[in-house]
Amino acid sequence: MTGALIRPATRADLDALVALEAGFAEEDRFDRRTWRRLLGGRTGALVHESGGQIDASAVLLFRQGSDIARLYSIAVAAGARGTGLGARLLSACEDAARQHSARALRLEVRVTNKSAHRLYETAGYRVIAALESYYPDGEAAHRMEKVLIAPSDGAT
């Protein structure tokens, strides 16, 4: 695709990031203040830009002293879904987590979010915990994980 790229998000993307999630339920999107904080902290926000428009975003959290990175959010614009963009962005997140020396990437997903489950399962994530009443509306979550760096097999 001409003029399409995945790149780190910057503060200049704030309006576009808020707009991307505008159609989501309030509890499934970040408000402007949260986005501003996420763009300034120990995060790795990525965006997909196509023809000058941002049509997907993802946020990674890194905690000091932890080698487990967290995928805090991933979103693809409604009109761009089902074309592999989510999978490409997820793969870019894994690369970014590896660059931060993370050995695994974890995330939480609503148990009813079938498209997200499919995305993660296809990419090699497995459910490591079921979290009852995880979301403000009482819905349960699955915590999923993918190990990013294979343990040494001892070969010399």
- Site membership for ligand COA, residue 17 (CB under 6 A): no
Contact with ligand COA (CB under 6 A) among 47, 61, 69, 75? 75
- Site membership for ligand COA, residue 116 (CB under 6 A): yes
Burial (CB count <10 Å: 0-12, 13-18, 19+), residue 76: buried
Contact yes or no for 41/54 (Cβ under 8 A): no
Residues 6+ apart with CB under 8 A from 128: 106, 143, 144, 145
- Site membership for ligand COA, residue 85 (CB under 6 A): yes
Coil, helix or strand at residue 94: helix
CB of 102 to ligand COA, least distance (A): 18
Contact with ligand COA (CB under 6 A) among 17, 74, 104, 105? 74
Contact yes or no for 56/93 (Cβ under 8 A): no
- Site membership for ligand COA, residue 84 (CB under 6 A): yes
- Return the number of the residue (102 or 144) whose C-beta is nearest ligand COA: 144
Q: Which residues are near ligand COA by CB under 6 A? A: 74-76, 81-87, 109, 113-116, 118-119, 122
